[in-house]
């Protein structure tokens, strides 16, 4: 059974959901039986909006597991960090429930892609962050970044946190949206590649094009 791949990002609205859906489509086209999962969704009701985005990008309808809540065990109405959105509904997220839902999917699917909420240090519950969950279960990570202003700092800080916690960064996803000046885009990518070469030599860079064209893998 393959380890689930966890998808996080340098901040919110970085392109995690788009990448998760595109990667699922890529793997499906390679013949893999794959499903996506969202650990917690805020700012909506019913079936997770991000799960719906994944299915649309894959060109498929919602799955039975989506209607059962197995692909997103926590959905909260208020658009905030998961810990706060849960507290506003007088709840607290239980990480073991998230893990159980992932393991349930693993019994029927070859590959499970787990999308986080926000960045690595977003609180899931008081005193427990997304990166704690990743580290605890030793999930390999795909980190979504970009060339927009501030991304070098946010990306290298995220990678430093993974290095400190001995987390495997399997992919660095370079989101080409929003479009940046070419010289900035090229230089930013070179900064990332230099850091990866020194600290995560096995990490591959995946390019996510502006027009949601197929993903492109470096190397």
83 assigned to a ligand binding site: no
- To the question of whether residue 119 is assigned a binding role by annotation, the answer is no
Q: How far apart are CA 153 and CA 138, in angstroms?
A: 25
38 carries an active-site annotation: yes
Please tell me whether the peptide bond between 216 and the residue prior to it is cis, using omega within 30 degrees of 0: no
What is the CA 134 to chain-centroid distance, rounded? 11
Which one of the listed residues 38, 170, 179, 193 is annotated catalytic?
38
- Which single residue is written with the structure tokens 């390679």? 30
Q: Check residue 117 and give left, alpha or beta (phi > 0: left; psi -120 to 50: alpha).
A: beta
- Check whether 54 is labelled as a binding-site residue: no
Q: How far apart are CA 110 and CA 98, in angstroms?
A: 18
**115 assigned binding-site residue:** yes
43 assigned to a ligand binding site: no
Whether 211 has a binding-site annotation, put simply, is no
Q: Is 219 annotated as a binding residue?
A: no
Annotated binding-site ranges = 13-18, 42, 50, 115-118, 175-176
Specify binding-site residues for Mg(2+). Answer: 17, 50, 115
* Binding region for substrate: 42
Active-site residue set: 38
């Amino acid at each position: 059974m393959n380890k689930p791949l966890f998808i996080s990002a340098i901040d919110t609205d970085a392109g995690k959901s788009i990448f998760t859906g595109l990667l699922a489509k890529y793997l499906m086209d390679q013949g893999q039986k794959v499903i996506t999962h969202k650990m917690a969704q805020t700012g909506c009701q019913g079936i997770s909006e991000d799960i719906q985005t994944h299915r649309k990008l894959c060109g498929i309808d919602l799955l039975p597991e989506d209607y059962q809540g197995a692909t997103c065990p926590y959905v909260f109405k208020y658009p905030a960090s998961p810990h706060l959105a849960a507290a506003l509904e007088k709840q607290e997220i239980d990480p073991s429930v998230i893990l159980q839902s992932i393991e349930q999917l693993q019994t029927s699917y070859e590959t499970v892609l787990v999308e986080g909420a926000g960045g690595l240090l977003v609180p899931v519950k008081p005193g427990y962050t997304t990166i704690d969950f990743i580290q605890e279960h030793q999930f390999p990570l795909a980190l979504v970044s970009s060339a927009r202003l501030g991304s070098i700092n946010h990306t290298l800080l995220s990678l430093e946190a993974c290095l400190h916690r001995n987390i495997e960064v399997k992919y660095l996803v370079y989101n080409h949206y929003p479009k940046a000046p070419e010289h900035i885009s090229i230089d930013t990518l070179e900064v990332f590649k230099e850091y990866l070469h020194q600290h995560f030599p096995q990490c591959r860079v995946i390019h996510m094009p502006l027009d949601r064209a197929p993903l492109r893998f470096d190397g």
